[in-house]
Chain A
Amino acid sequence: KNQVEQSPQSLIILEGKNCTLQCNYTVSPFSNLRWYKQDTGRGPVSLTIMTFSENTKSNGRYTATLDADTKQSSLHITASQLSDSASYICVVSPYNAGNNRKLIWGLGTSLAVNP
């Protein structure tokens, strides 16, 4: 069954610190893996999108890595800011043009950055 699992479920860090969020998936084959940021009560906003052949992709202070062999991805946030407080969701797009054309969503990691 296609699944996406994230850890930790929640995380509290101090402003200025770095953190790494984890994503394990069982979707195979897959087309791409995305990380979204979702502020409370708002829609998800894309941070990175990586194909199976990419190992790393950066977007400012956000760096995502992908290991397609172990089916793991991570999102590293550098020099955290208060505005980074949000839920970070890992989403996998299956490589399937048949009847399963939908994204597989993780539950997200809730990050709180404290002053």
Chain B
Amino acid sequence: EPEVTQTPSHQVTQMGQEVILRCVPISNHLYFYWYRQILGQKVEFLVSFYNNEISEKSEIFDDQFSVERPDGSNFTLKIRSTKLEDSAMYFCASSSQGFSYEQYFGPGTRLTVT
């Protein structure tokens, strides 16, 4: 069964460093999403991406964040200058149609900023 994959599973970085989280969505899906979940808190929407552009973003997704689909398979989230409060699980998701349709989530990347 097709699934969303994410790498790395765990990333430790120092405050102020840039990180890139990688995702491979399900191959025939057209809509891609990034979410984050701080330990013990709700899943929070960051950004949705369709047709090579951002379709929606939350107030969390400020200038420090960017997304890219560099080729036909990868979908990346970049954080330019990490802060301590960026420590969280980051989930990538994809769907065949828009946000109101079934979204399939990857296993997540645990980002720890020290």
Contact in complex: B100, A43 (CB < 8 Å): no
Question: With a CB–CB cut-off of 8 A, which chain B residues contact A44?
Answer: 43, 91, 105
Inter-chain contacts of A45 with B (CB < 8 A) = 105
Which residues of chain B are within 8 angstroms of A31 by Cβ–Cβ distance?
A: 100
Q: List residues of chain B with CB within 8 A of the CB of A41.
A: 89, 108, 110
Q: Which of B34-64 contact A (CB under 8 A)?
A: 41-45, 48, 55-56, 58
Residues from chain B with a CB closer than 8 A to the CB of A78 are none
B43 near A93 with CB under 8 A, answer no
A58 at the interface (CB under 8 A from B): no
- What is the interface residue range for chain B against chain A? 20 to 34
B99 touches A101 (CB 8 A): yes
Q: Which residues of A contact B43 (CB under 8 A)?
A: 44, 89, 105
Task: From B41, B45, B104, B106, give the contact of A103 (CB < 8 A).
Answer: B45
Interface of A is mostly: loop
B-contact 0/1 string along A39-66, CB 8 Å cutoff: 0011111100100000000000000000
Q: Is the CB of B107 within 8 A of A43?
A: yes
Q: Does A107 contact B99, Cβ atoms closer than 8 Å?
A: no
Asked if residues B41 and A102 are in contact (CB atoms below 8 Å), the reply is no
20 contacts between A and B (CB under 8 A): A42-B107, A43-B4, A43-B93, A43-B106, A45-B105, A46-B102, A89-B43, A93-B99, A93-B100, A101-B56, A101-B100, A102-B48, A102-B58, A103-B45, A103-B99, A103-B103, A105-B43, A105-B44, A107-B42, A108-B42
Instruction: List 4 tightest A-B contacts by C-beta distance, closest first.
Output: A43-B105, A31-B100, A93-B100, A102-B45
